């Protein structure tokens, strides 16, 4: 049963963002009924009676009462797979799961959002070579919070009508002006009233969906900035491509029933790439709406790209790990949001924030929450908790608050600004609602000492300056492997910029997203694997515009084997996957590691999934593990990276990986293997020379790892295999890691 929740993948400082949770009454007065998804696999080859009728008669059979049966059914999925959603009693769900033709019944769960100079940074200049014609036939689907079509990033000047393969639609709703030739589709899913009916609209009232869509596909908009910060041309990876928006996230989260409906629609609508910046805790593939939806997508050759989560830097935190999914980590870019604080004693302290407020004078009186406390008996005045500060002691002053979230309290009381301390890694800048900055705990203590040392403490917070810095690193919040579902497949797969990303947002949101925030902008900075994911989806669309016939796995392989390794403090490749995307190189990868649908099934068989469970994931009853070749070797699939999880440090490392590459370069070539062995492990590649006489030729090789886990301090050993023909470098990380205990 599905139990935990999915969310948008944006990290938040505790106290910064209040999500409003709401409960909606159910239509049935039988309040024990809950929403279940009844999954019936693939669409029948021949449809004599409508699926809706099939679903209804199944329900009537179980429930008995015709009227209740009619009322309890919420939705029939039937464009890409066969399923329905209904309000059921647990007993009815149990009975249904035993019915002929029913593959599985699972409970609806909540997911969450995982909340531009980046393309230059990634080596894709505005003048990069493009296939405009093919690019304009590519449709990128964003399963997200909706879209604000009027954003200049979605201006359709110069676009022809949607490609002929497009079968989707554009629905109407409150605050939504419709689609154009850039945003060709907009739908929302609100099954079982995930949102109140008067809020049901494809419009993006959150900002997240507009941000991700413009990162992947936005047209170039000159002089984009947030109140002058980060000014430059904002653009997506594929400005000529089309966008189809599928809204599944509402005020309090994103529902499985809606997620599945979005996949059902997007696949049938004819999209090319699906981008999902949403996730939840890791669950078995048999209960995972994103895992199941993306498998259906792959059967139609569609690559699904997902954010890997914001639960780093802890090992074992990675999610959306399906081997057919491209799982994305977030990296930093080469800009830092310096927001300096100057003290009356001349000390200058460098903080990090997105502060668009410039000081109006030189120095202000400075105090701390602890000194400005009122007589309230509740709350924590040092942290500037709401209701704990005395207005008279705050007015006109800058206030030092321990922890995050004091800036609105100080602002409301007429304070001149706030300095907060942040115990997280200082790589992510958060927008402030007033003149404010975040400093390290150590610098915070320094400020506090100064305040306590004098009766006339003074200070000032400057407007943010963007300075150059070395990059990329993996963001501290970015979720890390090792994954727990299929231990010998490395996740995340790849990294892309996800820290302080400037992109379009919706006019219905404010800069900080706080209820008292009045400041709006049509561009804003955001951080999260949510922001990294559409970079990869856009890059995948870019590769596809040169190779429209390539499989989903070929595109994924091209992006992975051409990515640049990243030095990572915490987690190595468990944090970065193969490395930072390099879209320009990915167009010419030389060799690719291809994977077909049957191979994923062979892998699931090897993992011990039962035929019935496989039918559930694949949506097809035709796969039978006793007839399918199980994946060979340690991982059992032709994956573009090599990962071995050993039981313990004492285990003798001994494993074989089988691989098969396809030559996608032109004609004759000779590739030689170059190995960098993980410490204490010998790596043998046989053969270590691959000869190709023509394009599309395939060559097999095997990689044998032998050794001991010698490094006593590390939980992983890193190495690599590079196939080189002097023109191409086809790189796979080789990782040996310990399981998460």
Ligand X SMILES: *[C@@H]1O[C@H](CO)[C@@H](O)[C@H](O)[C@H]1NC(C)=O
Interaction of residue 449 with ligand X, rule CB under 6 A? yes
Q: How far is CA 14 from CA 6, 66, 407, 423, in A?
A: 19, 49, 13, 11
C-alpha span between 246 and 269 (Å, rounded)? 11
Q: Is 12 left (phi over 0), alpha (psi -120 to 50) or beta?
A: beta
Q: Which of residues 167-206 bind ligand X (CB under 6 A)?
A: 174-175, 199, 201, 203, 205
Residue from 29, 133, 375, 693 binding ligand X (CB under 6 A)? 375
Judge residue 694's burial from the number of C-beta atoms within 10 Å of its C-beta, 0-12 exposed, 13-18 middle, 19 or more buried: exposed
State in angstroms the smallest separation of the CB of 308 from ligand X. 27
State in angstroms the smallest separation of the CB of 564 from ligand X. 17
Interaction of residue 388 with ligand X, rule CB under 6 A? no
Interaction of residue 445 with ligand X, rule CB under 6 A? yes
Cβ closest to ligand X, residue 12 vs residue 545: 12
Of 478, 530, 718, 737, which residue is the catalytic one? 530
Residue 142 has a CB neighbour count (10 Å cut-off) of 36
530 is known as an active-site residue:
yes
**320 within 8 A of 359, measured Cβ to Cβ:** no
Of 55, 208, 547, 728, which residue is the catalytic one? 208
Q: Read out DSSP for 321-334? A: --TTEEEEEEE--S
Interaction of residue 383 with ligand X, rule CB under 6 A? yes
In this chain, which residue has its C-beta nearest to ligand X? 403
Interaction of residue 125 with ligand X, rule CB under 6 A? no
C-alpha span between 486 and 323 (Å, rounded)? 8
Of 72, 104, 136, 144, which residue is the catalytic one? 144
Cβ closest to ligand X, residue 262 vs residue 383: 383
C-alpha span between 372 and 619 (Å, rounded)? 62
144 is known as an active-site residue:
yes
C-alpha span between 111 and 20 (Å, rounded)? 15
Q: Which of residues 605-644 bind ligand X (CB under 6 A)?
A: 611, 624, 626-627
How many residues lie near ligand X (CB under 6 A)?
31
Interaction of residue 370 with ligand X, rule CB under 6 A? yes
State in angstroms the smallest separation of the CB of 202 from ligand X. 10
State in angstroms the smallest separation of the CB of 50 from ligand X. 27
Alpha helices in 48-87 (DSSP H): 51-63, 66-72
Cβ density class 201-226: b for 16+ within 10 Å, e for less: bbbbbbbbbbbbbbbbbbbbbeebbb
Q: Taking CB under 6 A as the rule, which mask of x and - marks residues 45-84 in contact with ligand X?
A: ----------------------------------------
Interaction of residue 382 with ligand X, rule CB under 6 A? yes
Cβ closest to ligand X, residue 52 vs residue 598: 598
Interaction of residue 700 with ligand X, rule CB under 6 A? no
Region near ligand X per CB under 6 A, out of 183-191, 251-259, 375-383, 666-674: 375-383
Interaction of residue 380 with ligand X, rule CB under 6 A? yes
Residue from 258, 269, 448, 573 binding ligand X (CB under 6 A)? 448
Cβ closest to ligand X, residue 175 vs residue 697: 175
- E strand or H helix at 229, and its extent? strand 229-234
Q: Report phi then psi at 295, rounded to 5.
A: -65, -40
C-alpha span between 546 and 540 (Å, rounded)? 10
Cβ closest to ligand X, residue 334 vs residue 570: 334
**116 within 8 A of 503, measured Cβ to Cβ:** yes
Cβ closest to ligand X, residue 666 vs residue 710: 710
132 is known as an active-site residue:
no
Whether the CA torsion 227, 229, 232, 236 is positive or negative: it is negative
Region near ligand X per CB under 6 A, out of 213-221, 376-384, 527-535, 673-681: 376-384
Cβ closest to ligand X, residue 85 vs residue 179: 179
Interaction of residue 402 with ligand X, rule CB under 6 A? yes
Q: How far is CA 278 from CA 110, 193, 209, 339, in A?
A: 10, 19, 11, 31
Task: Tell me the three state secondary structure of residue 255.
Answer: strand
Cβ closest to ligand X, residue 212 vs residue 421: 421
The 8 Å CB, 24+ separation contacts for 378-384 are 384/409, 384/410, 384/418
Q: Which of residues 580-599 bind ligand X (CB under 6 A)?
A: 596, 598-599
State in angstroms the smallest separation of the CB of 147 from ligand X. 13
Task: Tell me the three state secondary structure of residue 347.
Answer: coil
**168 within 8 A of 244, measured Cβ to Cβ:** yes
C-alpha span between 111 and 258 (Å, rounded)? 10
State in angstroms the smallest separation of the CB of 650 from ligand X. 5
Interaction of residue 741 with ligand X, rule CB under 6 A? no
Cβ closest to ligand X, residue 198 vs residue 362: 198
Residue from 29, 652, 726, 741 binding ligand X (CB under 6 A)? 652
Q: Read out DSSP for 465-509? A: EEEE-----B-TTS-----SSSTTS-SS-EEEE-SSEEEE--TTS
Residues that bind ligand X (CB under 6 A): 174-175, 199, 201, 203, 205, 370-371, 375, 380, 382-383, 402-403, 445, 448-449, 452, 468, 508, 596, 598-599, 611, 624, 626-627, 650-652, 660
Residues annotated catalytic, as ranges: 144, 208, 530
């Amino acid at each position: 049963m599905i139990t935990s929740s999915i969310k948008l993948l944006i990290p938040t400082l505790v106290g910064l963002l209040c999500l409003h949770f709401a409960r909606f009454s159910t239509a049935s007065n039988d309040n024990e009924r809950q929403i279940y998804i009844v999954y019936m696999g693939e669409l029948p080859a021949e449809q004599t009676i409508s699926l809706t009728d099939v679903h209804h008669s199944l329900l009537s059979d179980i429930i008995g009462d015709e009227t209740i049966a009619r009322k309890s059914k919420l939705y029939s999925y039937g464009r890409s797979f066969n399923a329905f959603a209904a309000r059921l009693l647990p007993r009815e769900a149990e009975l249904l799961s035993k019915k002929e033709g029913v593959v599985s019944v699972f409970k609806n769960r909540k997911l969450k959002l995982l909340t531009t100079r980046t393309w230059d940074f990634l080596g894709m200049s505005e003048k990069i070579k493009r296939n405009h014609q093919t690019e304009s036939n590519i449709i990128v689907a964003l399963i997200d919070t909706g879209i604000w079509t009027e954003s200049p990033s979605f201006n359709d000047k110069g676009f022809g009508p949607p490609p002929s393969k497009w079968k989707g639609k554009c629905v109407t709703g409150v605050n939504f002006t419709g689609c154009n030739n850039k945003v060709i589709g907009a739908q929302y899913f609100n099954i079982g009233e995930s949102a109140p009916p008067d809020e049901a609209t494809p419009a993006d009232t959150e900002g997240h969906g507009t941000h991700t869509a413009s990162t992947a596909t936005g047209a170039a908009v000159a002089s984009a900035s947030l109140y002058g910060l980060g000014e430059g041309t904002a653009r997506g990876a594929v400005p000529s491509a089309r966008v189809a928006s599928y809204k599944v996230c509402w005020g309090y989260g994103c529902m499985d029933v809606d997620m599945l409906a979005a996949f059902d629609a997007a696949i049938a609508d004819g999209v090319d790439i699906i981008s999902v910046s949403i996730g939840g805790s890791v669950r078995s593939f048999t209960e995972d709406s994103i895992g199941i939806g993306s498998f259906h997508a792959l059967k139609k050759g569609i690559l699904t790209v997902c954010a890997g989560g914001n639960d780093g830097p802890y090992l074992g935190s990675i999610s959306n790990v399906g081997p057919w999914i491209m799982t994305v980590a977030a990296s930093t870019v080469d800009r830092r949001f310096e927001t300096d604080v100057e003290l009356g004693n001349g000390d200058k302290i460098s903080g990090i924030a997105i502060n668009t407020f410039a000081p109006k004078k030189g120095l202000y009186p400075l105090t701390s929450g602890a000194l400005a406390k009122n007589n309230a008996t509740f709350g924590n005045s040092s942290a500037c908790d709401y209701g704990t500060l005395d207005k008279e002691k705050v007015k006109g002053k800058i206030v030092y608050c321990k922890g995050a979230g004091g800036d609105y309290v100080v602002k409301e009381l007429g304070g001149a600004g706030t300095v907060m301390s942040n115990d997280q890694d200082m790589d992510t800048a958060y927008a402030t609602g007033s003149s404010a900055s975040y400093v390290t705990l150590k610098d915070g203590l320094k400020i506090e000492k100064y305040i306590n040392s004098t009766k006339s403490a003074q200070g000032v917070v400057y407007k943010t300056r963007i300075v150059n810095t070395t990059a990329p690193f993996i963001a501290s919040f970015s979720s890390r492997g090792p994954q727990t579902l299929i231990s010998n497949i490395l996740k995340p797969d790849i990294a892309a910029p996800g820290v302080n990303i400037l992109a379009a947002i919706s006019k219905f949101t404010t800069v900080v997203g706080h209820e008292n925030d009045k400041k709006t902008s049509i561009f804003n900075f955001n951080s999260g694997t949510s922001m990294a994911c559409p970079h990869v989806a856009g890059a995948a669309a870019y590769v596809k515009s040169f190779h429209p016939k390539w499989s989903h796995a070929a595109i994924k392989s091209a992006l992975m084997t051409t990515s640049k390794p990243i030095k990572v403090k915490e987690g190595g490749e468990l944090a970065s996957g193969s490395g930072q995307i390099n879209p320009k190189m990915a167009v010419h990868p030389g060799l690719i590691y291809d994977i077909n649908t049957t191979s994923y099934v062979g892998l699931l068989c090897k993992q011990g999934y039962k035929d019935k469970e496989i039918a559930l994931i694949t949506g097809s009853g035709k796969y039978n593990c006793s007839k399918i070749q199980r994946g060979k070797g340690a991982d059992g699939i032709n994956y573009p990276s090599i990962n071995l999880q050993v039981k313990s440090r004492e285990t003798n490392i001994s494993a074989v990986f089988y691989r098969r590459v396809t030559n996608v370069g032109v004609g004759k070539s000779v590739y030689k293997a170059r190995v960098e062995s993980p410490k204490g492990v010998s790596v043998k590649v046989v053969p270590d020379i691959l000869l190709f006489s023509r394009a599309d030729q395939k060559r097999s090789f095997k990689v044998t790892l032998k050794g001991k886990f010698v490094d006593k301090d590390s939980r992983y050993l890193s190495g690599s295999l590079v196939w080189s023909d002097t023109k191409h470098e086809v790189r796979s990380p080789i990782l040996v890691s310990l399981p998460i205990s």
